[in-house]
Amino acid sequence: MNTSVEVRELGKRYGSKVVIEGLDLELGKGVIGLLGPNGAGKTTLLRCLATALTPDSGRMEILGLDPMRRSQRTELRKLIGYLPQNPGLYPHFTAAAMVDYIARLKEVTDRRIRKDEVQRVLAEVDLTEAADTRVRKLSGGMRQRLGIAQALIGDPKFLILDEPTVGLDPEQRMRFRTLASRLGQGRTVLLSTHQTEDIAALCDRVIVFSKGKVVFDGTAPELADAASGRVWASGRQPAAAQVFWRTADGRYRVVGERPPDGTPVAPTVEDGYLQFLGTGARAGA
């Protein structure tokens, strides 16, 4: 595998709260989805990789550079595109001015190149029309796309997108999937999400993250497969210890032990994910 990111024994804690401990990870080209419940430590991991946060322990090598070393870190930062979970954008800037400003901070110093680059990334996320609109007048979804646009500046070799599909309408989400798959062709795209449909639709590889640990690492079909034989449809509400939810037809979908009246159902990525979370939860308890 062509490894562009290598993480060894990574550890990060906030005060006494351990968020990531002893994490090993290798990332190659393609779109990689980081799936996990709230508080799993996805953002923390992405921030470490984006050099926004310094880990407490462990080693990282990203695109052949060591972010812990100051000189290499600056070099590396030019190669990374990062969409934070809550990208604060300047409300009184126009969309174009905002991206232009970020481009300057990314050391795109040539005026013409910068101008073209701003137009290009705005077009990528379908914001060309809104280029002169002030950020405070953009809708939530448009802001999210603007956040994605700024991450694309300078054609980064490693794209880190923290919950990029939040706030996007279905059409924009489709568009984003197309964009992300295309970007994943030549570079590493690491994105976090709660949306299992996103994962199924666009990720070459899925990492399920729970309590700072990798509980699954494989392809989307493998994740779905992991739940095969453990997904059931049932007419009665199962015991509280089970992972289940009520579906539109009034029956219950159960992931885990077979309920007394359970009939087997073909598993989805979501089932696989829930299956791992259940396991993870039990393992952590």
Partner 1 sequence: MSRPLFALVVAETRIALRSPLLWLLTLLTVTGRTVSTWHEMPNWSVEGVDTATSALVIGAGAMLAANLAILRDRRADALELTDPLPVRAQTRTLAVLVAYPLVAMAYAAVAMGMQIAGLLINSRPVGHFDVRELPAGVLPVALMAVLGAAVGRWIPHLFAAPVCILLFFWTLVQFPQSWLLPMVPYPKLAIDPVRPPAWHLLYAAALTLTVGTAALLRHGSRHPGLVLPGAGSAAAVAVALTLTLNSPAAAAAARTEDLRQSTRSVTAGADHCETLQTTRYCAFPSYAGWIPLWRDAVGPVVAAVPTAFRHRLPGITQRAGTGTFDPTVTSRNILTTMSWGRNGAERDSRRALAAQMAAAATGFPRGTQRGAGPSGCDARGRARTVVALWLIGQTEEPLPATSTRSSVRTDSGKPTERVVPASDLGAVDYGPAELAYARRLLAQSGARERIRANWTALTAPATTLDEALPLLNLNRSAASETPKGTPCE
Question: Which residues of this chain interact with ligand ADP, rule CB under 6 A?
Answer: 14, 17, 19, 36, 38-44
Q: Which does 269 bind (CB under 5 to 8 A by kind): partner 1, Mg ion, ligand ADP, none?
A: none
| Helices 140-151 + 95-105 axis angle, to 10 | 30
- Provide the mask over 44-73, with x wherever binding to partner 1 is found by CB under 8 A and - wherever it is not: ---x--xxx---------------------
Kindly state whether residue 113 participates in binding partner 1, applying the rule CB under 8 A.
no
Amino acid identity of residue 233, one-letter, is A
Q: How far is the CB of 176 from Mg ion (least distance, A)?
A: 18
The answer to whether 131 and 96 are in contact (CB under 8 A) is yes
Closest C-alpha to 29, from 70, 63, 52, 53: 63
Residue 223 in 3-state DSSP?
helix
Short-list 72, 65, 53, CA closest to 11:
53
Q: Which is nearer to ligand ADP, 27 or 208 (CB)?
A: 208
| 44 interacts with, out of partner 1, ligand ADP, Mg ion, none, CB within 5 to 8 A per kind | ligand ADP
Say what angle helices 140-151 and 111-124 make with each other, to 10 degrees. Answer: 130
* Residue 216 contacts which entry, partner 1, Mg ion, ligand ADP, none (Cβ below 5-8 A, type-dependent): none
Helix (H) or strand (E) holding 252: strand 252-255
Q: Using CB under 5 A, which residues numbered 56 to 95 contact Mg ion?
A: 85
Return the residue of 10, 40, 63, 80 that touches partner 1, per CB under 8 A.
80
The 3-state DSSP class for residue 18 equals strand
Residue 106 binding partner per list ligand ADP, Mg ion, partner 1, none, with a CB distance cut-off of 5 to 8 Å that depends on partner kind: partner 1
Binds Mg ion by CB under 5 A, chosen from 10, 41, 43, 256: 43
End-to-end CA distance of the chain: 35
Q: Please choose which of partner 1, Mg ion, ligand ADP, none residue 14 contacts, taking the beta carbon within 5 to 8 angstroms, the exact cut-off set by kind.
A: ligand ADP
Cα separation of 57 and 7, whole Å? 11
- Out of Mg ion, partner 1, ligand ADP, none, what residue 19 binds, judged by CB under 5 to 8 A for its kind, is ligand ADP
Q: Does 130 contact partner 1 by CB under 8 A?
A: no
Let me know how many helices (H) and strands (E) the chain has, helices first: 9, 13
User: What strands lie across the sheet with 17-28, from one edge to the other?
Assistant: 17-28, 3-14, 57-62
Residue 114 gets the label, from left (phi > 0), alpha (psi -120 to 50) or beta, of alpha
Among 22, 39, 91, 186, binds partner 1 (CB under 8 A): 91
Binding mask 224-263 vs partner 1 (x if CB under 8 A, - otherwise)? ----------------------------------------
The binding site for partner 1 (CB under 8 A) comprises 47, 50-52, 74, 77-78, 80, 82, 84-91, 100-102, 104-109, 114, 147, 150
